[in-house]
Amino acid sequence: MHEREFGGYEKVGIQIKTHPHKYFGLTSTLQHFNTSTLHSKHMKKIFAASILAAFLIILSTPMIHAQSKNEKVLRHVVLFKFKDGSTAADIKKVENAFADLATKLPLIKSYEWGKNSSPENLNQGLTHCFFLTFSSDKDRDAYLVHPDHKAFGKILGPHLDKVTVVDYWTE
């Protein structure tokens, strides 16, 4: 039992019991509070308000996610296969130049990229995936003709063996 004084109020005891358990292979901890040890009316009100606030936050979370799911965005997916003669330094230069586009052009709402890691061996030689998000067709179209995008194409061109591009609106 742990007891502390809070600004002249009577001592309040909170007993915490920890029970590890597994849920989908992840270890987490449950904490149980012995509320019978809460003696102060003030602390009981604070405890009740905290529980109510937590409950309201939990209830509102699905609504927030539902709102963002209803917001459609345009995804621009770009897959590259580099020429066999391209060095690691050449490819790194292309990776950096693509990342620079995301910082230079505010039309790009989000950007991420990665290298293929699928064990299925169905990538047809495509090794790099770049994933951009736009708010509108107009933003994507402006990106495609933008001078910085054209300059990126000049850096990429000598090293590009194959490209696949798919654009889609989220459902």
Of 17 and 104, which is predicted with more confidence?
A: 104
For the segment 67-120, what is each residue's pLDDT rounded down to a tens digit? 356 799 999 999 999 999 999 999 999 999 999 999 999 999 999 999 999 999
Measured CA distances, 68 to 61, 79, 134, 140, 171 (Å):
11, 27, 15, 20, 11
Give 121's pLDDT tier (boundaries 50, 70, 90).
Answer: very high
pLDDT of 11 over the 70 cut: no
Put simply, whether the predicted model's pTM sits higher than 0.85 gets the answer no
Mean pLDDT of 121-145: 98
| 3 state SS for the chain | CEEECCCCCCCEEECEEEEEEEECCEEEEEEEECHHHCCCHHHHHHHHHHHHHHHHHHHHHHHHHHHHHHCCCEEEEEEEEECCCCCHHHHHHHHHHHHHHHHHCCCCCEEEEEECCCCCCCCCCCCEEEEEEECCHHHHHHHHHCHHHHHHHHHHHHHEEEEEEEEEECC
Task: Identify the pLDDT of residue 37.
Answer: 47
- Under a CB-based contact definition with an 8 Å cutoff, are residues 15 and 37 in contact? yes
> How many other C-beta atoms are found inside a 10 Å radius of the C-beta of residue 123?
14
Query: 74-169: which CATH topology?
Result: Alpha-Beta Plaits (3.30.70)
Model confidence pLDDT, tens digit, residues 29-66? 334 444 444 456 655 665 445 554 444 455 444 434 43
Highest mean pLDDT among 14-18, 22-26, 57-61, 150-154: 150-154
Average pLDDT (159-169) is 98
Q: What is the pLDDT of residue 58?
A: 52
Specify the pairing of strand 2-4 against strand 74-82: unpaired
pLDDT for 145 equals: 98
Q: Where are the domains of the chain?
A: 2-69, 74-169
For residue 57, give every residue at least 6 positions away whose Cβ sits within 8 Å of its Cβ, in sequence order, or none.
none
